[in-house]
């Protein structure tokens, strides 16, 4: 029964990640096409997507404070409430056309805000002694994103973007059902989060290298956001449409799987800072390739780079902060990653929308590539400042264990 329980938890949590990223793809991944369908220009789209990032960044810590200090709700319960609210908003937008865009945006804010709680749920189980492989389960999310991207890309070639809220509702119902099946956590560990908040104001003084990493992450994700939020315009520039966007997102999602699933093995060969720097260079190389992509096929193939950029960045950054920060600072360190990538999302959406609207797609890609190169350079200098490390190599995971 014990083995069965472990298998059930892995299945449920992997399904949760899969469904979450299916919803994310349906709302956020195709947000540009949805808003274009309602006649909104790229500059305004950039502002709307930036607003989603900003408000979700504000909402996440507010919810955390309510959970910790007031209501003491378990993470599963919080996710149920957030999913229910999101589905209510999407239904409201479907029933009342005047509310469609507002409901879609508000639903997007809730959905993006859920990300840190979905991830934190895995560690809540792990901290209570359950066996769970976060990388494996997160790869399930990438698979869900890839499959959804392809299907939606095909559907949008025949139907309007108005079907996106309906698709998200169906996914949300399944997500909600899985939450009800998740095993109860007898005792969630909260003190570390409280301690982290108490030490947060001194974190940058305590770890000087964090500032360079924080800014570097923001630059990298400004580029990452530009190419994802304005993928429709990028393909439109070379004669592609929604079908090509869907295929590109599917390729990117599938290419994430090996890096995320195998990262625990990779980090035993080379340490997390090596793979973090490697991923930052891959972001820059991807930008250079996209700059010179003159055909749809070439542009589709640039999305293979997702497997060595984003796919390695996510686990490498989490592993690194878990290794180099003190116990009381680790949770805030993970939060810092989210804040940095959210800031990058805000900059990427606003600047990307302005550049596409004013100067065109190629200039946006040029600026994005410059941002990626700058981010890689900042990460290099930040990683060189890590205490007790020898350059980018340093110690491996097996050394730390």
If asked whether residues 255 and 400 sit together in one domain, one would say: yes
Contact predicate 224/216, CB 8 Å: no
**Comparing 307-316, 355-364, 387-396, which segment has the lowest mean pLDDT?**
387-396
Beta strands in 17-82 (DSSP E): none
Torsion, Cα 8 10 13 14, to 10 degrees, reads -120
If asked whether residues 112 and 195 sit together in one domain, one would say: no
If asked whether residues 352 and 292 sit together in one domain, one would say: yes
Cβ neighbours for 339, distance < 8 A, ≥ 6 positions apart: 57, 214
pLDDT band (50, 70, 90) for residue 138: confident
Residue 255, class by beta-carbon neighbours within 10 Å (0-12 exposed, 13-18 middle, 19+ buried)?
A: buried
Query: Does pLDDT of 152 surpass 60?
Result: yes
Q: Which pLDDT value is given to residue 30? A: 85
| Cβ neighbours, 10 Å, residue 328 | 14
Question: Which of the listed residues 134, 158, 189 is the one where a domain comes to its end?
Answer: 189
Name, of 238-252, 361-375, 380-394, the range with top average pLDDT: 361-375
Contact predicate 257/142, CB 8 Å: yes
Query: Does pLDDT of 395 surpass 70?
Result: no
Q: Which pLDDT value is given to residue 191? A: 40
d(CA 91, CA 110): 14
Q: Which pLDDT value is given to residue 200? A: 47
Looking at the chain, the number of H-run helices and the number of E-run strands are 19, 0
Question: Which of the listed residues 160, 189, 218 is the one where a domain comes to its end?
Answer: 189
If asked whether residues 226 and 352 sit together in one domain, one would say: yes
d(CA 335, CA 182): 24
Q: What is the pTM of this model?
A: 0.75
If asked whether residues 260 and 322 sit together in one domain, one would say: yes
Contact predicate 209/383, CB 8 Å: yes
Give the mean pLDDT of the chain: 83
- Quote the percentage of the chain above a pLDDT of 70: 86
Query: Does pLDDT of 390 surpass 80?
Result: no
Question: Higher model confidence: residue 376 or residue 28?
Answer: 376
Q: Which pLDDT value is given to residue 282? A: 97
Q: Which pLDDT value is given to residue 68? A: 54
Residue 21 belongs to domain with CATH number:
1.20.1250.20
pLDDT band (50, 70, 90) for residue 3: very low
If asked whether residues 295 and 158 sit together in one domain, one would say: no
If asked whether residues 169 and 200 sit together in one domain, one would say: no
DSSP state of 267: H
If asked whether residues 138 and 194 sit together in one domain, one would say: no
If asked whether residues 380 and 322 sit together in one domain, one would say: yes
Contact predicate 5/131, CB 8 Å: no
Q: Which pLDDT value is given to residue 397? A: 38
Contact predicate 188/344, CB 8 Å: no
If asked whether residues 91 and 116 sit together in one domain, one would say: yes
Question: Which of the listed residues 156, 174, 189 is the one where a domain comes to its end?
Answer: 189
- Count of domains observed in the chain: 2
Dump pLDDT digits (tens) for 67-123: 655 667 788 888 999 999 999 999 999 999 888 899 999 999 999 888 878 887 887
d(CA 401, CA 265): 14
d(CA 188, CA 58): 23
Q: Which pLDDT value is given to residue 392? A: 55
pLDDT band (50, 70, 90) for residue 220: very high
Mean pLDDT of 252-270: 87
The domain in which residue 20 lies consists of: 1-189
Name, of 106-110, 190-194, 224-228, 370-374, the range with top average pLDDT: 370-374
Q: Which pLDDT value is given to residue 320? A: 86
Mean pLDDT of 300-309: 94
Cβ neighbours for 82, distance < 8 A, ≥ 6 positions apart: 63, 110, 113, 114, 117
Nearest to 118 by CA among 103, 102, 140: 140
Three-state secondary structure readout of 114-163: HHHHHHHHHHHHHHCCCCCCHHHHHHHHHHHHHHHHHHHHHHHCCCCHHH
Contact predicate 52/112, CB 8 Å: yes
If asked whether residues 158 and 271 sit together in one domain, one would say: no
Dump pLDDT digits (tens) for 164-186: 999 999 999 999 999 999 887 76
If asked whether residues 319 and 338 sit together in one domain, one would say: yes
Q: Which pLDDT value is given to residue 71? A: 65
Q: Which pLDDT value is given to residue 20? A: 96
Query: Does pLDDT of 203 surpass 90?
Result: no
Query: Does pLDDT of 159 surpass 80?
Result: yes
What's the residue count for the chain?
A: 401
**Comparing 55-59, 138-142, 250-254, 323-327, which segment has the lowest mean pLDDT?**
323-327
């Amino acid at each position: 029964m014990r083995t069965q329980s472990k298998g059930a938890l892995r299945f449920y949590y992997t399904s949760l990640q899969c469904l979450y990223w299916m919803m994310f793809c349906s709302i956020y991944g195709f947000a540009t096409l949805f808003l274009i369908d309602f006649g909104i220009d790229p500059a305004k789209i950039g502002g709307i997507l930036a607003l989603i990032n900003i408000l979700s960044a504000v909402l996440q810590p507010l919810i955390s404070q309510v959970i910790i200090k007031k209501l003491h709700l378990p993470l599963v319960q919080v996710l149920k409430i957030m999913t229910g609210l999101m589905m209510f908003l999407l239904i409201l937008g479907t029933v009342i056309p005047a509310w469609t865009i507002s409901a879609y945006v508000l639903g997007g804010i809730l959905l993006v805000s859920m990300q840190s709680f979905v991830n934190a749920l895995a560690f809540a189980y792990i901290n209570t002694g359950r066996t769970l492989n976060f990388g494996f389960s997160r790869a399930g999310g990438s698979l869900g994103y890839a499959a959804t991207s392809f299907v939606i890309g095909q559907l949008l070639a025949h139907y309007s973007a108005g079907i996106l809220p309906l698709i998200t509702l169906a996914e949300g119902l399944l997500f909600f059902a899985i939450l009800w099946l998740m095993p109860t956590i007898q005792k969630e560990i909260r003190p570390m989060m409280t301690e982290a908040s108490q030490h947060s104001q001194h974190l940058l003084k305590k770890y000087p290298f964090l500032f360079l990493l924080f800014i570097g992450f923001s630059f990298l994700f400004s580029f990452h956001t530009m190419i994802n939020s304005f993928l429709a315009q990028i393909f439109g520039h070379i004669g592609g449409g929604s079908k090509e966007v869907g295929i590109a997102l599917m390729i990117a999602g599938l290419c994430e799987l090996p890096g995320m699933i195998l990262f625990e093995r990779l980090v035993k060969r080379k340490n997390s800072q090596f793979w973090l720097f490697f991923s930052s260079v891959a972001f820059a190389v991807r930008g250079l390739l996209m700059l010179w992509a003159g055909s749809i096929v070439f542009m589709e193939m640039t999305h293979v780079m997702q497997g060595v950029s984003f796919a390695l960045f996510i686990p490498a950054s989490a592993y690194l902060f878990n290794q180099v920060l003190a116990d009381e600072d680790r949770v805030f360190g993970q939060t810092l990653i989210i804040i940095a990538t959210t800031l990058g999302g805000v900059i990427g959406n606003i600047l990307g929308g302005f550049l596409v609207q004013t100067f065109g797609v190629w200039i946006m890609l040029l600026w994005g590539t410059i941002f990626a190169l700058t981010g890689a350079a900042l990460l290099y200098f930040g990683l060189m400042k890590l205490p007790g490390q020898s350059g980018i190599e340093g110690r491996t995971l097996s050394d730390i264990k």
